[in-house]
Each structure stands twice: as C-alpha cells, then as structure tokens.
Amino acid sequence: DIKMTQSPSSLSASVGDRVTITCQASQDSNHYLNWYQQKPGRAPKLLIYAASNLKTGVPSRFSGSGSGTHFTFTVSSLQPEDAATYYCQQYENLPYSFGQGTKLEIK
Amino acid sequence: EVQLLQSGGGLVRPGGSLRLSCAASGFTFKTFTMSWVRQVPGKGLEWVSTLIDSGSATYYADSVKGRFTISRDNSQNTLSLEMSYLRVEDTAVYYCVKDGHYDDSAYFGDFWGQGTVVTVSS
C-alpha cells in the first residue's frame, strides 16, 4: 500500500502570503495525485487533479506540481476563505490513500 | 449541474446492516466510475470501495472486504453501498464520489456527495 505523508500538519499564515504544502508518497505515484480542500461540516472539494491540473472553476491562486513520490501544493496569495484542511490523495494504486491533512489557519 | 444526493445512514447496532444510496444527476452516470469514501469525525479520509462504470469490476478496502457490497443501477442513476456485520469502527461520515474525465484519462474524486452519517453503537 502507498502511504502519503503530508507536511506540515498545520500552519498559520496571513492574507496575501504564499503557502506551500508538501506530500510525499512511499512509492511512485506517477502523476496520479489530487489535492482537496475541506471546510468543517462539508464534503471535500477537489482543487487539483493529476498533480498539476486545476479543476474548472477553482481560483488560479491554487496550483500543484510534482510527480513520482514528491508533490507540492501552493496557494500564491492567501485569502480569508482559504482557511480549511487540505488533503493530498494518490490514485495510482489501490487502495487509494490520503495524506493525514494540513489544517490551514488565517492569522 | 452535477448532483450526488445521498440517503440512508443512521444508528445501527454492532453486527447490524445498513444500506446507503446515492442518486446522481447532471451527468451521464453510466460512463463514470463511482466510489465511496468515509471519514471518522475529526479524522482523515479513507477510501472504501470503487465500482467501474459498467459495473463489471468492484474494489474494496481490506477493512470492509466481505462485509460491504457496492452496486449501481445505471438505469436509475443510483449508487448503493450495502453494509453488513457492521462494527463500531465503521462509524463515520460516508461520501459518494464521482470520477472525472480529462483527455483520454480518468481521475478520482471529481465531485462528492454531501455525506451521510453512519453510527454503529450498542
């Protein structure tokens, strides 16, 4: 099974800051990597699919990069509504697996 | 507009059974792989099961294999999860999840239902 390790587990940043979250896969996940945003009481929302593709309708301040075992998710200019928990997830191999999440707080 | 409207769920005793349903609309249901993902409140996400578009192949997490059955009715645009021999550790919010397509490929997790709560407790 592929284990996904996200870092950091939490972070606090100010509006306008550039924020980066990393995700490390225990095995090669090719480019089959998604990033989700989840707010309390809500279902996860897909932001980035296939490592670097921005889902239609998602603001362009969100971006993703990487392949293989190392992936990065970036918010270029943090907005108040970006406060949420973010998850990476590989879908290269079953069982599909998620990172443990990164809780992003706005200062 | 894509919609995944979930129903079912509730409180059940250990060893009991429950059926979750997911009514899909706004897309051609029969051409998309569908899945279930669960989340223990306050915890992370766990993939549970996947059923390909034709319904000819199913996949399960080891934690539910032999107890849960995923199925779909492409004529009614519905996805189901039959859960048996439920355990306390199956307590979670369950999400119905639709794949996405791009170019000639598919990707997981394009759209998620609103979630339904399953509580297993005596």
The predicted-structure confidence for A12-71, as pLDDT tens digits, reads as follows 999 999 999 999 999 999 999 999 999 999 999 999 999 999 999 999 999 999 999 999
Q: How far apart are CA A39 and CA B103, in angstroms?
A: 30
- Mean pLDDT over residues B20-43, rounded? 97
B114 CA: distance to closest CA in chain A (Å): 6
SS3 B82: strand
Specify whether the CB–CB gap between A98 and A87 falls below 8 A. Answer: yes
Largest distance between two CA atoms of chain A: 38
Cβ distance A55 to B108 less than 8 Å, yes or no, reads no
- Best mutation site among A46, A54, A55 for testing chain B: the one with the most B CBs within 10 Å? A46
Of A43, A50, A96, the CB nearest to B95: A43
pLDDT > 70 fraction of chain A, expressed in percent and rounded: 100
Contact between B111 and A53 using a beta-carbon 8 Å cutoff: no
Following DSSP, what letter does each residue of A32-75 receive, concatenated?
Answer: -EEEEEE-TTS--EEEEETTTEEPTTS-TTEEEEEETTEEEEEE
Give the count of beta carbons closer than 10 Å to the beta carbon of residue A22: 17
pLDDT tens for A43-53 read 999 999 999 99
